C-alpha cells in the first residue's frame, strides 16, 4: 500500500475508490483530480474513473503486514457512501478488527449513514472515526459522530472555509485543521484557525495544524507553523504508538 504525504497518517488503504461531490469542501476534491490522472496512466484499479467501485481484492492487504502501521482508510473515496453496501462495510471493519497492531483512520462526510450503521459495526480500539466539517453549515456531522460507539473520535476541519466560532468540541478526541491546497484554493483566515486551536487548548483536545493551503510553491513556503509553533498533537492511540517507536 502506498506511503502518503498526508502528515497525520502513514499509509493509505483503498478497498473503495470513487465518490460523488456532496458539500462545499468537495468542490476541488483532490481524490477526483488524482483519479483522473491514475485512469489516464492506465492503472486498472481506476478504470472506472470516479464512479464508486469496491475492490474486494484489496481487503486483506493490512493482514499481510505485521509491522504496526497507521492507515488512512479510503483516501480516494468515502466508506459510508450510499453505493457501498453494508456487507462490504462490515467486511472492511472485520479486517480492521483482525489487525490490532495497526491503527485505522476512517473519515466521512456521510455522517447520517455512519450513525445509522454504527450500532451494527464492531468498534475495536484501533479504529479512529472522523467526520469532515469544512464550514459552519455542517455541525450536524459532529452530532452524528458523537453518538457513535467509536472509541476515538476526530474532526477534519479541512479545507476550512468559514469561521467556526460556534463549533462544539465536546466528546472529540482530536482536531485537524488545514487550508485548501492547489491553484485557485479558497482562502483560510488565520483567526479561524486560532479560534479552533484555543478551544482545543482549553478543552485539552490534541490539535494538529496540517497546512495553510494555496498553490504548491506558496503552500510549501507558508509551511505548517501557526504563530511560530508546529502544532502536531495526536490522540492517545497515536501518541502511544509514537512513544513505542
Residue 181 has what pLDDT? 86
Domain count, the chain: 1
pTM of the model: 0.94
Tell me the C-alpha distance between 72 and 86, whole Å: 20
Residue 51: its pLDDT value, please?
98
| 3-state SS, residue 201 | helix
Residues of the chain with pLDDT under 70: 1-2, 215-221, 241-245
Q: pLDDT value at position 220?
A: 65
Range of the domain at 34: 11-244
Rounded to the nearest 10°, the torsion over CA 9, 3, 67, 172 is 10
Tell me if 3 is assigned to some domain.
no
Distance (Å, whole) CA 198 – CA 49: 41
The proportion of the chain whose per-residue pLDDT surpasses 90, expressed as a percent, equals 87
Task: For residues 48 and 26, give the distance between their C-alpha atoms in angstroms, rounded to a whole number.
Answer: 19
Q: Cell triple for residue 99?
A: 489487525
User: Would residue 4 count as lying in a domain?
Assistant: no
> So what's the pLDDT on residue 3?
78
Q: Does a cis peptide bond (omega within 30 degrees of 0) precede residue 159? A: yes
Residue 16 belongs to a domain:
yes
- pLDDT tens across 142-162, in order? 999 999 999 999 999 999 999
Please tell me the predicted confidence (pLDDT) of residue 215: 67
Question: What pLDDT score was predicted for residue 13?
Answer: 98
Amino acid at each position: 500500500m502506498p506511503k502518503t504525504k498526508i502528515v497525520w497518517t502513514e499509509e493509505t488503504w483503498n478497498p473503495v475508490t470513487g465518490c460523488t461531490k456532496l458539500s462545499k469542501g468537495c468542490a476541488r476534491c483532490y481524490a477526483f483530480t488524482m483519479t483522473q490522472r491514475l485512469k489516464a496512466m492506465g492503472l486498472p484499479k481506476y478504470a472506472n474513473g470516479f464512479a464508486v467501485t469496491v475492490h474486494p481484492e484489496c481487503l486483506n492487504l493490512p493482514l499481510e503486514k505485521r509491522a504496526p502501521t497507521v492507515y488512512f482508510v479510503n483516501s480516494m473515496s468515502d466508506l459510508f457512501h450510499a453505493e457501498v453496501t453494508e456487507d462490504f462495510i462490515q467486511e472492511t471493519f472485520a479486517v480492521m478488527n483482525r489487525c490490532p497492531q495497526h491503527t485505522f483512520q476512517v473519515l466521512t462526510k456521510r455522517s447520517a449513514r455512519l450513525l445509522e450503521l454504527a450500532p451494527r459495526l464492531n468498534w475495536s480500539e484501533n479504529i479512529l472515526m472522523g467526520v469532515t466539517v469544512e464550514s459552519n453549515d455542517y455541525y450536524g456531522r459532529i452530532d452524528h459522530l458523537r453518538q457513535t460507539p467509536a472509541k476515538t473520535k476526530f474532526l477534519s476541519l479541512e479545507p476550512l472555509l468559514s469561521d467556526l466560532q460556534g463549533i462544539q468540541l465536546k466528546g472529540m478526541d482530536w482536531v485537524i485543521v488545514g487550508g485548501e491546497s492547489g491553484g485557485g484554493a479558497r482562502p483560510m483566515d488565520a483567526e479561524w484557525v486560532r479560534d479552533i486551536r484555543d478551544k482545543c487548548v482549553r478543552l485539552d483536545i490534541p490539535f494538529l495544524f496540517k497546512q495553510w493551503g494555496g498553490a504548491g510553491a506558496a503552500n510549501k513556503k507558508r509551511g505548517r507553523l501557526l504563530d511560530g509553533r508546529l502544532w502536531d498533537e495526536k490522540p492517545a492511540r497515536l501518541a502511544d504508538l509514537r512513544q513505542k517507536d
